[in-house]
Structure 1
Amino acid sequence: MNIRRTWPLFFVIIPLIAGCGLFQSTAEKMYERMEKVVSIEDGFKNEQERLIELEKKEKEIYDEILSLGMKDRDKIARLSDEAAGIAKQREECLEKERESMIRAEEEFKKLTKDIEKLDDEKLKKNAEKMYDTMMKRYELHEELYRKYKQGIAYDRELYAMFKEENVKLEDLEDQINKINGIYHEVIELNGQFNKQTEAYNEAKVQFYKDAGLDVKTE
């Protein structure tokens, strides 16, 4: 039976970089807003770390279930319930993380009015490009969220199947294939999200330079 499954270790995520500085320029409001977005996304980063720990713990239980075969039904049922409980915790973390990203996106969207007020056309064009880069990042995160949530649902279905006395091996294989498929998509989206984050970080630093802001990035 093909029972190897994919574990995404999903939140190996590149964070937004923060800047610090004091200035008296027309771009100050944009700076303050973008750094506020970084602060809001700190909640996102905290949930990433928690998710990784939960994934590792759940994987250990999953491996233990497989080591039992289908011999010790009582222990398999107990471990399956435990794994399902961790999957539920992962979903709770995911929702908290998503809330942070939604709040950050709402704050970031307020930049549009500031961008319109920029007098320098080249600076405005660069700011618009930076804005579009970040919005693409948020679109990727929304897709990442949906796929990962679907993966959790598939995981919980699998743990319920482990508890069935007459479950067929073919059905388990089919379910695990579904899980592997969705998590491969998650891993791919995660890579795209990280690349988009890097692109935004670079665009933001360049904007600060073009605007003449004396900012040190962290």
Structure 2
Amino acid sequence: MKFKKHLSLLFILIIVAVLSACSNTSASEKIYNHLEKAVELEEEFEKQQDKIVKLEKKEQNIYSKIIDLSMDDFDKIKKLSDKALKSIEKRAEKIEMEKESIHASKEEFIKIKDLIDQLENKQAKDTAEKMFSVMMERYNAYDKLYQAYSKSLERETKLYKMLQKKDLKQETLSNHIKKLNNSYEKVIDANKTFNSRTAEYNELKEKFYKQADIKVEYEDNASSKDKNNK
């Protein structure tokens, strides 16, 4: 009976030791795990980039063909417009996939907030706080980019539907194209902000890893990714 009690006590001690070892994982290591998980969750965002750019080029080619045609080629204009509309639908789907990826990354990233206060190294803590702030600005910048891009998609859709009307007036078309170009300018501005925050965040993350003595091997240009070349 005593043997069984000692055995039970030993088993309990082993469990306590294991739990203690898990809880002893440093705050910096936990932060590292969340940061790298956030990167993994953005892989879908990364994958959609080239696909979106290809669709954009395809639509630009279609538009170039349309403006070279006259109203005598209305049937061709209509067919080309249909192709453009289908391409826009695909792009809209990919933008939604991109957004979901970014938002999943954000949910993972914000888990480091409470861990930052647990850092003992003051330099690493200060850098982590800046890193957190910049990354949140990056997520906000993406939301603005998403909104601007979605608006441009709406106006592109309207453009190609307008081109399918025989009674379309030149003035109406010109006014809409001005609005569309304005949308593109907003996308470009939002994209620049997003890219700037991405570069700033990556620099701070690399700095944090060095200060927290976390050994990380970077691939070429991996620490300064510049995405969303819309």
TM-score bin, normalised by smaller chain? 0.7 to 0.9
**Deviation digits for residues 106-160 of structure 1 (CA, Å, limit 9, x no counterpart):** 1001111211221233322211110000000000000000000000000000001
TM-superposed CA distance for 1:25, in Å, is 4.7
1:51 aligns with 52
1:85 aligns with 86
Is 1:110 the counterpart of 2:133? The answer is no
* TM-score under structure 2 length normalisation: 0.82
TM-superposed CA distance for 1:200, in Å, is 0.3
CA distance in 2 between partners of 1:184 and 1:124 (Å) = 38
**Residue segments in structure 1 that go unaligned for 5+ positions in a row:** 1-23
**Deviation digits for residues 152-175 of structure 1 (CA, Å, limit 9, x no counterpart):** 000000001001111000111111
2:43 aligns with 42
Moved over 3 A (4+): none
Is the contact between residue 133 and residue 199 of structure 1 (CA under 8 Å) also seen in structure 2?
Answer: yes
Is the contact between residue 159 and residue 176 of structure 2 (CA under 8 Å) also seen in structure 1?
Answer: yes
**Deviation digits for residues 49-107 of structure 1 (CA, Å, limit 9, x no counterpart):** 11000001111111111111222111111111110110111111100000000000010
1:178 aligns with 179
Helix, strand or coil for the counterpart of 1:110? helix
Structure showing greater radius of gyration is 2
One-letter code of the match for 1:155? E
CA distance in 2 between partners of 1:174 and 1:114 (Å) = 52
CA distance in 1 between partners of 2:152 and 2:91 (Å) = 11
CA distance in 2 between partners of 1:92 and 1:26 (Å) = 38
2:225 aligns with none
Is the contact between residue 141 and residue 193 of structure 1 (CA under 8 Å) also seen in structure 2?
Answer: yes
* Bigger share in helix: 2
**Residue segments in structure 2 that go unaligned for 5+ positions in a row:** 1-24, 220-230
Is the contact between residue 25 and residue 213 of structure 1 (CA under 8 Å) also seen in structure 2?
Answer: no
1:3 aligns with none
CA distance in 1 between partners of 2:171 and 2:27 (Å) = 64
Identity over aligned pairs, percent: 40
Is the contact between residue 156 and residue 180 of structure 2 (CA under 8 Å) also seen in structure 1?
Answer: yes
One-letter code of the match for 1:195? S
Is 1:155 the counterpart of 2:151? The answer is no
RMSD (CA atoms): 1.1
More RCO (CA 8 Å, sep 6+) = 1
Is the contact between residue 44 and residue 101 of structure 2 (CA under 8 Å) also seen in structure 1?
Answer: yes
The within-5 A match list for 1:57-68 is 57-68=58-69
CA distance in 2 between partners of 1:71 and 1:184 (Å) = 33
